Amino acid sequence: SIDTGAGLERVTSVLQGVASNYDTDLFTGILAKAAELAGTAYGKNPESDTSLRVIADHARCTTFLIADGVFPDNTGREYVLRRIFRRAVRHGRLLGIERPFMHEVCEQVVAEMSAQYPELAQHRTTIANVALAEEKRFRTTLDQGVKLLEDEFAEMKKAGLCEVPGKAV
């Protein structure tokens, strides 16, 4: 048993004659959904394309992990899920998506991959609910953090400071 490193995405890209995993039908529908939610198009801008790829890749991972019973938390693989999920949300914000959206991208993953992975359809509601709840929590945390940072910047400006004090950090 030798692992060649030729995983599903690499083999698919070779068979479909494309240069990138993201140009295969394993990703194109998910990328299209993310682009639609962001009000952009994939392939138009390298910076937004990077964010769209992060969202698509992390939505796939999120969908499969939740279907396998892994839920965002603060330890172990649950923490890994939380970190990648929140990274995708942050990239959504970079694209201008100001509302919860990852549950919709995860739904696209379910729609596209449940024929081969029926457990995704079986856990469709759980996947959507967990993704939506986690994104709402993260957006609240992020909004609170940004407000604190803006307040600190205002205080610094009043005091004529240009470095954030360690105590404030």
Concatenating the DSSP letter of every residue in 95-147 gives TT--S--HHHHHHHHHHHHTTT-HHHHHTHHHHHHHHHHHHHHHHHHHHHHHH
- Secondary structure letter of residue 22 according to DSSP: G
pLDDT of 1 reads 61
Query: What would the pLDDT profile of 7-52 be if each residue is shown by its tens digit?
Result: 888 889 999 999 999 999 999 999 999 999 999 999 999 999 999 9
pLDDT of 2 reads 72
For residue 94, give every residue at least 6 positions away whose Cβ sits within 8 Å of its Cβ, in sequence order, or none.
Answer: 51
For residue 25, give every residue at least 6 positions away whose Cβ sits within 8 Å of its Cβ, in sequence order, or none.
Answer: 12, 16
CA distance 135 to 99: 9
pLDDT of 6 reads 78
User: Does residue 4 have a pLDDT over 90?
Assistant: no
- In this structure, are residues 97 and 48 in contact, taking their beta carbons and an 8 Å threshold? no
**27 CB-side CA count, 13 A:** 24
pLDDT of 104 reads 98
Average pLDDT of span 106-115:
97
Query: What would the pLDDT profile of 112-130 be if each residue is shown by its tens digit?
Result: 999 999 999 999 999 999 9
Please state the pTM of the whole predicted model.
0.88
User: Does residue 69 have a pLDDT over 80?
Assistant: yes
- Secondary structure letter of residue 18 according to DSSP: -
CA distance 64 to 18: 25
Taken as a whole, the chain contains a residue count of: 169
Which one, of 87, 108, 127, 97, lies nearest residue 37 by Cα? 97
Which one, of 140, 135, 50, 138, lies nearest residue 94 by Cα? 50
Average pLDDT of span 52-73:
97
Query: What would the pLDDT profile of 130-164 be if each residue is shown by its tens digit?
Result: 999 999 999 999 999 989 999 999 989 998 988 88
Q: Does 103 or 169 have the greater pLDDT score?
A: 103
